[in-house]
């Protein structure tokens, strides 16, 4: 598929990133269960290691089955490239630590999945990386948190489980004014309900475990690069991409990869943290997530319809004190939901029972 974005979303869910196997003609994506690959020649091997051409070196770095998943995820989001990894937490970790190092900081929305909160406040702190929090309902507040060591802005499409919907375009505009890329966890919306790159987001991360797979059979994650953030614009700001890299033969990533487009970030994620920390996705997992993607465009509308119907029912129930679902007109983020989530508000729903001695919460997944 020469131009995968030219096809409708439904078609991309089924076919993006794949060509029939040249040897067998297999229509389904094969599971390439191999650790290693044969090089055509010493020159071929040298070119692969030098990133002069792309191909398979070792399955910790790339695998043909994972490659189809990566191309499909990039096509669904409209990105220039993607990286499949072992979990959503790995996707978040790699995406941030690729550009944020010890002694530096990044800014995050306060509305976060609990595992992400712990990663940011506990594990990253032990690595010398500071997180500074802003209220996503007040985007201007992040300006006061930025200094010369700030590296990016992070938020979730739908705060989990707060269910707040940020004003993405405003957050992105402010971040870009400050010279910072925006990373967004789009797990609970998926590319079907929200297209991050159309609203100024630069990097999307996913836990494929949830709605991308849809079957609960495997853990996995993915990073998708929009290719829109210019890492060369500010002189000296991003040495990861504009200075010689001693861990990769002195290569200057932005220059070496220029013939392939603005893919320095996603290639850096692959050739450094994935290479060194080893959080790769297995080809079997990639195969399962590809199966899940084939029905993404069918499943997500049903999730939204079901969640809204339950929310409307609970809103009228005499035993229910409150309902938290942005698809309801009285939700504080309903206006943002109508603007950014016209196809539906997802499947996360919270509610409180009258007289309960503890906060009640429920999810529909």
User: Per CATH, the architecture of 12-20+40-292 is what?
Assistant: 3-Layer(aba) Sandwich (3.40)
CA distances from 167 to 77, 191, 196, 310, 317 (A): 19, 17, 12, 26, 31
- pLDDT of amino acid 283: 97
CA distances from 323 to 57, 133, 136, 189, 349 (A): 51, 26, 21, 19, 8
Do 1 and 7 meet the contact criterion of CB atoms below 8 Å apart?
yes
H or E stretch at 9:
helix 9-15
Nearest alpha-carbon partner for 270 in 278, 260, 262: 278
Q: What is the pTM of this model?
A: 0.93
Nearest alpha-carbon partner for 180 in 162, 205, 154, 215: 154
Give the orientation angle of helix 283-293 with respect to helix 64-77, to 10 degrees. Answer: 40
Segments of 22-158 assigned E as strands: 81-85, 105-109, 130-134, 150-156
- pLDDT of amino acid 2: 47
Q: Per-residue pLDDT for the chain (365 aa), expressed as one digit of tens each?
A: 346 667 899 999 888 998 888 888 888 999 999 999 999 999 999 999 989 999 999 999 999 999 999 999 999 999 999 999 999 999 999 999 999 999 999 999 999 999 999 999 999 999 999 999 999 999 999 999 999 999 999 999 998 888 999 999 999 999 999 999 999 999 999 999 999 999 999 999 999 999 999 999 999 999 999 999 999 988 889 999 999 999 998 999 999 999 999 999 999 999 999 999 999 999 999 999 999 999 999 999 999 999 999 999 999 999 999 999 999 999 999 999 999 999 999 999 999 998 877 655 544 44
The residues, ordered by sequence, that sit 6+ positions from 270 with a Cβ below 8 Å of its Cβ are: 61, 62, 83
Backbone angles phi, psi at 362, to 5 degrees: -145, 155
Question: Dihedral angle at the C-alpha atoms of 106, 112, 113, 117, nearest 10 degrees?
Answer: 50
**How far is it, in rounded angstroms, from Cα 33 to Cα 59?**
9
- Give me the residue spans of the domains in the chain: 12-20+40-292, 298-353
What is the fold, at CATH topology level, of the domain defined by 298-353? Answer: 3.90.1150
**How far is it, in rounded angstroms, from Cα 276 to Cα 270?**
9
**How far is it, in rounded angstroms, from Cα 162 to Cα 321?**
16
């Amino acid at each position: 598929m020469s131009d995968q974005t030219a096809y409708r979303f439904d078609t991309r869910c089924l076919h993006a990133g794949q060509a029939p196997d040249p040897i067998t003609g297999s229509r389904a994506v094969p599971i390439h269960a191999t650790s290693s690959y044969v090089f055509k020649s010493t020159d071929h091997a040298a070119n692969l290691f030098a990133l002069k051409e792309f191909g398979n070196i070792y399955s910790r770095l790339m695998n043909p089955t994972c490659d189809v998943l990566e191309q499909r995820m990039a096509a669904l989001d409209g990105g220039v490239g993607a990286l499949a990894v072992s979990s959503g937490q790995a996707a978040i970790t790699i995406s941030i630590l690729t550009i944020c190092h010890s002694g530096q900081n990044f800014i995050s929305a306060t509305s976060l999945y609990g595992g992400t909160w712990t990663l940011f406040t506990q594990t990253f702190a032990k690595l010398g990386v500071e997180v500074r929090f802003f209220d996503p309902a007040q985007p201007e507040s992040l300006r006061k948190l930025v200094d010369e060591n700030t590296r990016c802005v992070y938020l979730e499409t739908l705060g989990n489980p707060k269910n707040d919907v940020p004003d993405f375009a405003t957050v992105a505009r402010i971040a870009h004014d400050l010279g910072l890329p925006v990373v967004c966890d789009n797990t609970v919306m998926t590319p079907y309900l929200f297209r991050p790159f159309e609203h100024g987001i630069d990097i999307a991360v996913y836990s494929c475990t949830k709605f991308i797979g849809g079957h609960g059979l495997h853990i996995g994650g993915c990073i998708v690069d929009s290719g829109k953030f210019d890492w060369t614009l500010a002189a000296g700001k991003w040495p990861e991409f504009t200075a010689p890299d001693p861990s990769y033969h002195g290569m200057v990533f932005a220059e070496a990869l220029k013939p392939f487009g603005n893919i320095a970030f996603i290639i850096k994620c692959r050739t450094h943290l994935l290479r060194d920390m080893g959080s790769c996705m297995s080809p079997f997992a990639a195969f399962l997530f590809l199966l899940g993607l084939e029905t993404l465009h069918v499943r997500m509308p049903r999730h939204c319809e079901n969640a809204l119907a339950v929310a409307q029912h609970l809103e009228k129930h005499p035993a229910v004190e409150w309902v938290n679902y942005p698809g309801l007109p009285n939700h504080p983020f309903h206006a943002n939901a109508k603007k950014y989530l016209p196809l539906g508000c997802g499947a996360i729903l919270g509610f409180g029972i009258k007289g309960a001695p503890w906060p009640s919460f429920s999810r529909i997944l």
